[in-house]
A and B are shown apart, each in its own frame.
Chain A
Amino acid sequence: MIRSLKSLRSLRVAGFLARKAIMRANIGVTLLTVFILILVALNLLFTPGLLNGVITSANNKLISTYTSHLVIEAGGLKEQNFKINHVSDLMQEIESINGVVAATARNTIGANIKYKDNTDQERQVNCIVDAIMPDREEKVFDINRSMIEGSYLDERDRDQILLGMQIAGADDNSVELYIRSLRHVHVGDKVTVTYSNGFQKQYTVKGIFHTAFIQSDVQAHISELEYESIVRGAHDSATEVHVRLDDNANPNEIIKRIAMFDNSVDFQTWEQNAGIVNSMTTSFQILNQILDVVNALVAGVTIFIVTYVDVINKRRQIGIQRAIGIKNLAIMFSYLIRALCYVAVGLIGARLLFEYAVMPFEAGHPFIFPFGPVYLAMDNAQLVHTAVLLLVVSLVAAFIPVWLTIRIKILDAIWG
């Protein structure tokens, strides 16, 4: 109690000394210190901001071309019952729920696709073929807007197939998996598809899509109608149902509602599939950690030097403070408070610069990544991380020189 009262007095004196020291300090040194800290804080915000942008952008691709917000699969043991039945009823029910934009069913089947080019060289690709309902699909996914050749499927299309860019190749060797693709397939070409159930058929390529999300672009699409002619008894059943939600919809609420209607199904949110994106960003995170360390060092060294030079210059003054009974704690606090002030101003400055200069500038000239433009994003968690890192580092960096100074005997400090 008495102890905390004394620390409180020390804090009050420290605040007073810190305020006076900042007011009377060399303005050039102060500005330079704050400037360096702003740069450091900007650095600390930038890479994670970019990383965030990359993740957001990749997640959006994942959602709009691969998973949608919610994936519904048949529940129970997959070997026994891997179909969702009465799919039209289910989809109708789902779409009546508030917060749902649309639902679409897919049947997936493994297949081998062969193509013989005009030099008679044959190539083949193993892939997943999605049987889709084009009218619904367009409301859930963006794939129809990623056609680079030909056109999208119609409900009634039978002998037509859509190929992902990574399968078709389309003579574009900048495509990531070009070497393993069919390489020379274009719209109108004929490919031979052998399904995993043994059924074989020749299709005309109606269109080629390039979503720039590799997992999507290694797939092929046929119509649901076509699928029902390949797989017996497939009518009104599906391997999975994809659901697109409003931006502010709560997936858990919607899952609860759907489960009330059909408790035989399993749910996956898109986040549960985000591992694909995470694996892409791991190296980014490592880079980020390295930069964290470098930036922390720069901040620490800056604060250390500023504090060190100050206590060296004020050795005698600090001795006098101690002689007249100012507590070491108060002297220590006064330097820590100053370090905190510098960091706080640096953080605020960096935050404002980032939000009102760097982000708008980058939005005008975005970084282009394989899956599209990436926009810098700043989240509060990152801001907090940056703040905590800088505060801790600067406290330690200020503590050391002050501690070394107040350990000197008063006599030596004043008259040494």
Chain B
Amino acid sequence: MKYARLIWVNLTRNKRRTILTALSVAAALFLFVALRSVNTTLDDARQVGSESRMMVRNAISVVFPLPEAYHSWISTVPGVRRVTWGNWFHGIYQDRRDFFPSFAVDVDGYFDIYPEMVVPEDQEQAFRRERTAALVGTGLMERFGWRLGQTISLTSLIYSPDQAWPFTIRAVYTPLPGWTDEAFYFHYDYLYEMSEWTQPGWYILELEDPSLAATIAATIDEHYENSRYATRTETERAYLAGIASMYGNVGLLINAVGIAVFFAILLVAANTMMMAARERASEVAVLKTLGFSDRLLFGLVLAEAAAITAIGGLLGVVGAKLLFEGTGFQGMGLLPGFEVKLRTATLGVSIAIVLGLISGLLPAWQAARLPVARTLRRVA
């Protein structure tokens, strides 16, 4: 388009101002896209869990355990096909900031209930046989550069923090889509022997029919209602949604930040365009003497405003995408990988462009209505 150069030279004539404006828009959009991605990821998390698996946890909080004796009774509840259990280990490898999810699990039952992890047959046998064996996700293997057969040492933030726990990696799983590739599993028996007071953290049930979930939950929770360890039973999906909501009411936060961001963009861009338009009044007047119409000049100013915010918006979105996907943050391994969705990116850039157009409206209108004779007289 033949006017592109005119827009471009105008954008670049005050480079510092244009860059600062674009960067402000970029920062605002970065924030917006980042928060929105947290939200979409949490929404996804609410969809991850299976409807045919249920979690039984301590009614007070997931951090309190449940007695081992519950296993046999829960197994008898009609509609429950299988029961297994797991425990949160909170293992640390070298650096405690390098977080990954680690679980002590009932090896005999756990992997039957979780088909999401694909393990070669021979490795699975090797893992089952050895008390100190570990099963590790491909992503975690890669992250720490571990090899199959390697013995590594973890410490736990929960169980005697000073103690070193040796594990030998006997199996590596490949996750099905939606499952984390960074989890670490080992024998509950090992944990039980090393610490006297261990109890299952939660039970996992496999249902014969998802439609029985409500009845089963009511049966179990009523049964233990008045015991020392009251339970809370919910589908895995509901359970994960509960964990996701521990991250706070993100939706509200996003709306608040979103509105602030929009105003920031609007003000910054509008300010820049007003300044630019004021400086260029005489040039606009000259263009009018050449026959540039009011409408064309209106469009040129709008296009310039939109170009600045579009560039800034793109920067912010790309920045958010790189940062999120570069860190591979997975929220305790319980969430699907964080991702800036195309939908979010498009929304962000569109918002930036629309706000750019809005911010350009006033200066564009001023340019269109500029009185030529009086403006030229002022500079001459």
A binds B: no
Taking Cβ atoms with an 8 Å cutoff, the residues of A that contact B are none
